[in-house]
Structure 1
Amino acid sequence: MIFDHVSLPVSDFEKSKAFYVATLAPLGVSIQYEESAETTGTTAFVGFGTDQGPEFWIGGIMKEPRNMSHVAFRARDRKTVDAFHAAALAAGGQDNGAPGLRPHYGEHYYGAFILDPDGVNIEAVCHDPQG
């Protein structure tokens, strides 16, 4: 599996949230994580998934123009996350979050974020507690 999760921007967060709650329920997919605009300081997000955690995210449009598409690639270990970040910077990507633990996403969530040439937020993430 190469993807860890994917995020899509939506124009009407509450309408889209209700749509995906209803649409994904027959697939056994439900809300696993949610953040309000007050918490993020930008826009609300909701992550859908199974008991293994969120894999499909939606979020409202930011106040300032920005590409809100997001793709997270699964990395085998933390060294690989670090290498991804370094390689992306060397290839002209813009840092959007240095490699490190992000316990608010999960106890062992180790990720790094880069904006690609079009401003898409790409990420590498490792969930292995051993690193």
Structure 2
Amino acid sequence: MYERPSDFPDQPYLVNFEKAEDTKPDVSIDYSKMVMVIAMEATLARDGRRIGGLELLLTELGSYQYCCTSMTEHSVYKIAVLWVVQPSMPYEIDELKAILDKFAMSYAFSDGSGFMTLNNFRFNGNNISIYPDT
């Protein structure tokens, strides 16, 4: 409805709701084993060059399990929120961290607190760089 309000004319609506008795149990994702990542890319108005690291990040994450939960797309920019399954081996975590440092705008590894804090959240200004010419 929010995406296409013209499909719903401005008038009163009657909605019936019944709670189903045979609902399945909640199978929530365990976010304590996930890394939250935000990445972007944009096109500069002055010269048309692209900045950011979203496309390169998605390429580098090819061997990791991840899902994109939000993708805001506009003609001149894209912003994505991804959840990456945190590897269990220390060297894999270091490799993932190196990829995120290079291409993500920000990311947060779980520290067990259940919150994003200055201890587990990293904003990465290095990501706002110009894409290499292809």
TM-score by length of structure 2 reads 0.26
Greater Rg, structure 1 or structure 2? Answer: 2
Relative contact order: is structure 1 or structure 2 higher (C-alpha 8 Å, sep ≥ 6)? 2
TM-score by length of structure 1 reads 0.26
